[in-house]
Amino acid sequence: MPSFDIVSKTDLAEVDNAINNVMREIGQRYDFKGSNSKIEHKDGVLTIDADDDLKLKQMHEVLQGHLAKRGIDHGVLDYQSPEQAAGQAVRQTVNIRQGIDKELGKKIVKDIKGTKMKVQVAIQGDELRVTGKKRDDLQDVISHVKGMKLEQPLQYVNFRD
């Protein structure tokens, strides 16, 4: 029986490479001269330190640009609210989404079942397994889920006949 998995995985090595490029660019840019702006990555959580809100927004743009160059959708970044550090400095934590959480999984399953396609969808941890009798049904499910416009990027892997 044909099946495939819907997953949401982020290559953390590519994220590290993008952060290194961002730090190199910040060190060379004139508008960041003498600032204490930096990005650190530890265990799937980014910490952005900036001198003020303007520099924080600029760092967001630079980070998203470098992630896009590395083939990582900026939707994997889950920005938390910025908090004040010493003086005007701000600090923001950014979680990197890995896997499909329960709420999003249930939403996808409900939406697929609402289309009355002849497939079965099972939640397996942080991924979804879709099985059906015909390969065409599975391809219809992939195109349907792509059309759902979810903020979290999804990958369709392990397609088997």
The last residue of a domain, from among 81, 96, 111: 96
Would you state the pLDDT for residue 66?
93
Residue 151: its pLDDT value, please?
A: 83
Phi, psi (degrees; rounded to nearest 5) at 113: -70, -30
Task: Mark whether 81 and 126 lie in a shared domain.
Answer: no
Q: What is the pLDDT of residue 36?
A: 87
- Statement to judge: residues 81 and 20 lie in one domain: yes
Looking at residue 93, its pLDDT comes to 93
User: What is the per-residue burial (b if ≥16 Cβ within 10 Å, else e) of 116-150?
Assistant: ebebebeeeeebbebebeeeeebebbeeebeeeeb
CATH of the domain at 142: 3.30.70.860
Token pair of 111, please?
């939406």
Claim to verify: residue 43 and residue 83 sit in the same structural domain: yes
What are the tokens at 31?
């508008």
In which domain, by residue range, is 142 found? 3-8+99-160
Q: What is the pLDDT of residue 125?
A: 85
Q: What integer pLDDT is reported at residue 86 of this predicted model? A: 79
Are residues 19 and 69 both part of a single domain? yes
Residue 137 confidence (pLDDT):
87
Whether 104 and 119 map to the same domain: the answer is yes
Sign of the four-CA dihedral 95, 99, 102, 105:
positive
Contact 147, 70 (CB under 8 A): no
> What is the per-residue pLDDT for 94?
92
Contact 2, 139 (CB under 8 A): no
- pTM for the predicted model, two decimal places: 0.80
Q: What is the Cα Rg of the chain in Å?
A: 20
Tell me which residues of the chain have a pLDDT lower than 50: none
pLDDT at 69: 93
| Domain shared by 81 and 17, yes or no | yes
117 alpha carbon, distance to own chain's centre? 28
